[in-house]
């Protein structure tokens, strides 16, 4: 990984577009907060926004993008197919509903939110069609473990561009990461701040002091230097700024190894490992 990154740095996907390495997550941002957060992020130079149908804020994400005056083509917009909408026909309808709420003709990445048993392959076929129809520039998955990816790849004509999974120093599925790398699937780290639940970790505080950075900045920088695309969420403009101020320093190789040793399978979100 080239360490000379900045807020506009992108990484190519396996499907012809490129994704900005840093994005803003908007899960749990209420509509008004979400509008303001996206507006603040775009002003600061973020060009990647991660929402989902189930977050209930696609309309505000779309409005903030439109009102920003930034060209739609300069923004990487991600949304996701919710579980209740999985299945071929249902998924085709769901993307249209999302596009309408977002006020756009296409998303840059459409993800299957969760590997729902018995449905995910039909959903994937619908995503393939949405890509062919130009409604999604790239398509990918979220919360897919190695077994789900193997199962999908057996029958699909398109390899997912991205797998968005929970990933931070306290939860690292390295075999999943290696598998994704081998297949050319980008790993996108969601809940990179462990949903705010590990920010008080003393080892993290010690390192943050050493680099004169905040605990959150160390976690985000670790993710970037580990080669992940990363989407910290904040509804607070000061923190949105702080979370993007991670490009002017480098964590040393020794400290990267130290942080990487903190894995304790600490999962803050839902657990896809037991899904058949
Ligand atoms: N695909 C999936 O299943 C899935 C699941 C979970 C998340 N995601 C995506 O990933 C994004 C990020 O994950 P996440 O929202 O779970 O958690 P996160 O980004 O790890 O942490 C967010 C929490 O940390 C706080 N925070 C943010 N910046 C901070 C800072 N600089 N200092 C102190 N606290 C800070 C936020 O509070 P404030 O907002 O008050 O600042 C919020 O409580 C989501 O928003 C969503 O887009 C996807």
Q: What is the pLDDT, as a whole number, of residue 3? A: 54
Give per-residue pLDDT as tens, 98-149.
999 999 999 999 999 999 999 999 999 999 999 999 999 999 999 999 999 9
CATH 3.40.50.720 fits 10-199+227-247, yes or no: no
Give per-residue pLDDT as tens, 2-43.
457 899 999 999 998 999 999 999 999 999 999 999 999 999
Instruction: Kindly provide the b/e burial profile for residues 212-232, where b requires at least 16 CB atoms within 10 angstroms of the residue's own CB.
Output: ebbbbbbbbbbbbbbebbbbb
Task: Give catalytic status of residue 35 as yes or no.
Answer: no
270's tokens: 């839902």
Residue 173 pLDDT level (bands cut at 50, 70, 90):
very high
Give distance in angstroms: CA of 122 to centre of ligand 1.
30
Give distance in angstroms: CA of 248 to centre of ligand 1.
22
Ligand 1, atom 43, lies closest to the CA of 196
Q: What is the pLDDT, as a whole number, of residue 50? A: 98
- Domain ranges for the chain: 10-199+227-247
Give distance in angstroms: CA of 24 to centre of ligand 1.
9
Closest ligand 1 atom, CA of 50? 47
* Cβ of 169 below 6 Å from ligand 1: no
Which strands, in side-by-side order, build the sheet including 24-25?
A: 24-25, 48-50, 76-81, 107-112, 136-142, 162-166, 186-190, 229-230
Q: What is the pLDDT, as a whole number, of residue 146? A: 98
Those residues with Cβ within 8 angstroms of residue 176's Cβ, 6 or more apart along the chain or in another chain = 145, 146, 163, 165, 187
- 148 and 272 Cβ atoms separated by less than 8 Å: yes
Closest ligand 1 atom, CA of 193? 20
What percent of the chain has a predicted confidence (pLDDT) above 70?
99
């Amino acid at each position: 990984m080239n360490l000379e990154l900045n807020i506009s740095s992108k990484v190519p996907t396996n499907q012809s577009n490129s994704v900005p390495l840093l994005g803003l997550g908007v899960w749990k941002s209420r509509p008004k907060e979400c509008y303001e957060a996206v507006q603040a992020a775009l002003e600061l130079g973020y060009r990647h926004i991660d929402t989902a149908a189930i977050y209930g804020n696609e309309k505000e994400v779309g409005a903030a993008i439109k009102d920003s005056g930034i060209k739609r083509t300069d923004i990487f917009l991600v949304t996701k197919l919710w579980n209740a909408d999985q299945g071929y026909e249902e998924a085709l309808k769901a993307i249209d509903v999302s596009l309408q709420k977002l006020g756009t003709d296409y998303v840059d990445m459409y993800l299957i939110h969760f590997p729902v048993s018995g449905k995910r392959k039909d959903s994937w076929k619908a995503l393939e069609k949405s890509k062919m129809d130009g409604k999604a520039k790239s398509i990918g998955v979220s919360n897919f473990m190695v077994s789900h990816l193997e199962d999908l790849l057996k029958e699909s004509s398109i390899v997912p561009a991205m797998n968005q999974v929970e990933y931070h120093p306290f939860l690292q599925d390295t075999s999943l990461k290696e598998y994704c790398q081998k297949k050319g699937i980008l790993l996108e780290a969601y809940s990179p701040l462990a949903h705010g639940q590990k920010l008080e970790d003393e080892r993290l505080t010690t390192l943050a002091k050493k680099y004169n950075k905040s605990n959150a900045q160390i976690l985000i920088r670790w993710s970037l230097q580990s080669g992940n695309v990363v989407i910290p969420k904040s509804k607070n403009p000061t923190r949105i700024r702080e979370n993007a101020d991670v490009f002017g320093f480098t964590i040393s190789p020794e400290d990267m190894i130290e942080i990487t040793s903190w894995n304790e399978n600490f999962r803050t979100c839902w657990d896809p490992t037991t899904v058949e």
